[in-house]
Structure 1
Amino acid sequence: MSTPAPARRIIPIARAGTDDGAHSPRQSLRLAFQVGFFALFVLAPVFDLFRYDLNADHAWLLGMEWRLGLDPFLAGQASALEAAGSIMLHLFVPLLTVAAVVLWVAWKWGRMYCGWLCPHFSVVESINKLMARASGKPSVWEKHRLPAWKPDGSRAKVDARWWGLVVPAAVAFAFLWAVVLLTYLLPPAEVYGNLIAGELTRNQFIFITAATVVLSLEFLFARHLFCRFVCAVGLFQSLAWMGNRDAMVVGFARARATDCSSCLPERQSACDAVCPMRLRPRNIKRHMFTCTQCRQCIDACGETQRDNPEGPLLSWVTGEAARQNEAGFRAFKER
């Protein structure tokens, strides 16, 4: 009588129902921040929270006129030195203060503005998801399809009919952006009034048309490439983050790397698949230069390892743990 072979230990994929971790508490919070900031981006000019009025030749801030204080100089009642001081006080000090806050946040936690607030990154993620539904790839430049499995264990559905929504969505986002950007330069009541009445001026029509075409192409073909290689706001955040060895990074339990083989069927990685910037989250920090700290890779790992008693392999780490994460990468490579 033969003895049955011992059963292999298999770490089961978690039960279905969370849709790639998109509905985890942290992702729900991030979505709330993104929606709120996108609404602020659209409505700020309407309520004069922030915009520059080309007609009136001055800015608006929090419902009040924001001028550089050059009227006394132009009237011959102030010196050039006083005018320079006024420009410094009313223009450079506020701008440098905002820049300092953004860079300080990036120095400690990375590109949090990009991943949690930026309205452009919201569009990037939205188009990525629609394009993945249409083609199985989040970008037209992606060489390979995403895994056929989601982190929750369900099959990823691909249907070419979704292209009927991808292109209109990109154009709609581009048109909205074009109109909103124009309201940052001209009175919103004038822009929206002319748009609704179909009486845009020649210059308004040219601006909205040109911006819609350019942004449509960017949203369709170069959205995450723009975030990675072009956006100056993102670049300076990345530089600040890279300069702090204790900054928050995605840590990887490299000693348990074999658990990744059971992450998804067909030996594919859930964390790589969900990254909207098309990065490899288990990599060293300098290869994660454009990470937006969106946490989707961590949530996807947590979903696939939900039934693993040792827990997920990815987590946010800071301080000494962040340093050890990088040291662990070098030690892992040397073995």
Structure 2
Amino acid sequence: MSLQARRRALQLGFFALFLSAPALNLLRFDLHEAQLWVLGLRWSLGIDAFRAGQLSANEVALSILLRGIVPALALIVGFLWVAYRWGRLYCGWLCPHFSLVEGLNALLVRASGKLSLWDRQSQPGVRPQARYWPVFVGTALFFGFAWSITLLTYLLPPAEIWGGLWRGTLTPNQTRFLLIAWAVFSAELLFARHLFCRFGCAVGFFQSLAWMANRRALVVGFARARAAECRDCSPAQDACENACPMRLRPRNLKRLMFSCVQCGQCLQACDRSHAQRGASPTLVWTVGADALRETLRHNVSQKGKP
């Protein structure tokens, strides 16, 4: 199985998990009961037992520490450690939103030849087909609704929400929430997918900060001595910067690749383009000492500029 096939499989699996987690009680917070569910179990800090006189103050304090603070810190530290070593792997390999970004990009390219409605130029080598416009808009609206109702089921019992939707018995507040969330999510998917990933997502932002702090972290390295080979990259649609779903230029300095999600699509495009000329790719993943040398070369090149 190729790298991209493995990545797609992980994305689909995590997307299915994201949608089904509330119904399976894998993770949700019930506002009616003020109860957190984790992996099918009621997750309690012991506060109710303390109020009922079943636990002492010391026992409930220890419960809050061991069942609340320690797991939360372990999750945050582990998440940032992964980002420190390998960058925004969660974004590029698991994140449900980024999966939609890539899928909607592909549909919009087919419809308009562009990766964004705001692009001035079309992607090279692409012939727009108007019949994909309804597919693009319909997909964005469908998943905008799916996200809004899924978000609500993370806060209220899924059976209540889905049953109320089917029978038309949702409360006015539930209906308003769904309509507003649907409008917001759909607008974001239609018009601002990349902007949200690059500038609006706190999860991605803190991953990028951790990644930038490590000079030895996984990074796309560019063989600058062979830069002339990239001038004749053919076909044009295989150019690495056209393949990047985050609209980045993969041959840039690391600090200009702040929002790179390590999806590897630029590497695949580079490999495909150079293979047609019987050459090795100029873009490769580097880590450790190789990544450090790549970063130092960037710093030296910058200092040498007037």
Which TM bucket (shorter chain)? over 0.9
2:132 to 162, 165, 171: 162
Counterparts of 2:57 and 2:195 in 1: how far apart (Å)?
A: 44
- Offset of 1:84 from its aligned partner? 3.9
Aligned to 2:234: 264
1:220-299 to structure 2, matched below 5 A, reads 220-264=190-234, 270-299=239-268
- 1:131 and 2:101 correspond: no
Does residue 271 of structure 2 align to residue 328 of structure 1? no
| 1:264 to partner: Cα distance | 2.6
The whole-number CA distance in structure 1 between the counterparts of 2:244 and 2:235 is 18
Q: TM-score, structure 2 length as denominator? A: 0.93
Number of the residue aligned with 1:101: 78
Other-structure match for 1:7? none
Higher RCO structure, 1 or 2 (CA under 8 Å, sep 6+): 1
Q: Is the 8 A contact 2:238 2:269 kept in 1?
A: no
Contact 2:235 2:273 in 1 (8 A): no
Matched, 1:188 2:165: no
Asked if residue 57 in structure 1 is aligned to residue 34 in structure 2, the reply is yes
Q: 2:16 aligns with which of 15, 39, 42?
A: 39
1:17 is matched with none
Output one character per residue of 1:46-80: Cα deviation in whole Å (capped at 9) or x when no partner.
11111111112111111111112102332355555
* C-alpha deviation, 1:144, in angstroms: 2.3
Instruction: Tell me the SS of whatever aligns to 2:275.
Output: coil
Which residue in the other structure is 2:50 paired with? Answer: 73
Contact 1:34 1:116 in 2 (8 A): yes
* Paired residues of 1:254 and 1:332 also in contact (CA < 8 A): no
Whether the 8 Å contact between 2:215 and 2:295 is mirrored in structure 1 is: no
Aligned partners of 1:69 and 1:90 also within 8 Å: no
Letter in 1 for 2:273: T
> Contact 2:223 / 2:283 at 8 angstroms: preserved in 1?
yes
Corresponding pairs, count:
304
Correspondence list, 1:174-213, <5 A: 174-213=144-183
User: Cα distance, 1:96 vs. partner?
Assistant: 1.5
Q: AA paired with 2:31?
A: L
State the distance in 2 between where 1:81 and 1:202 align: 43
3-state secondary structure, aligned to 1:244 = coil
Structure whose alpha-carbon radius of gyration is higher: 1
Does the residue aligned with 1:42 lie in a helix, a strand or coil?
helix
Q: Is residue 115–residue 293 contact of structure 1 (8 Å, CA) maintained in 2?
A: yes
Q: Aligned pair in 2 of structure 1 residues 332, 308: CA closer, same or farther (>3 Å)?
A: farther
Counterparts of 1:253 and 1:115 in 2: how far apart (Å)? 23
Distance 1:84 1:243 in 2: 35
Q: Is the 8 A contact 2:104 2:136 kept in 1?
A: yes
CA distance in 2 between partners of 1:82 and 1:54 (Å) = 25
Letter in 1 for 2:111: A
Residue by residue, what CA displacement relative to the aligned partner does 1:220-248 show, whole Å, maximum 9, x if unpaired?
11111111111111111001100110000
SS of 1:316's partner is strand
Structure 1's 323 and 308: CA in aligned 2 closer, same or farther, altered over 3 A?
A: farther
Following superposition, the deviation at residue 269 of structure 1 comes to 6.7
SS of equivalent to 1:305: helix
What's the CA shift for 1:160? 2.6
- Whichever structure has more helix as a proportion of its residues is 2
Question: In structure 2, how many angstroms separate the alpha carbons of the residues matched to 1:264 and 1:308?
Answer: 9
Q: Structure 1: how far apart are the matches of 2:227 and 2:301?
A: 10
User: How far did residue 332 of structure 1 move?
Assistant: 5.3
Q: Which moved more, 1:77-86 or 1:296-305?
A: 77-86
1:254/1:329 contact within 8 Å kept: no
Bigger mean CA offset, 84-93 vs 226-235: 84-93
The Cα of 1:309 is off from its aligned counterpart by: 3.8
Work out whether residues 298 and 315 of structure 1, in 8 Å CA contact, stay in contact via their aligned partners in 2. Answer: yes
CA RMSD of aligned residues (A): 1.9
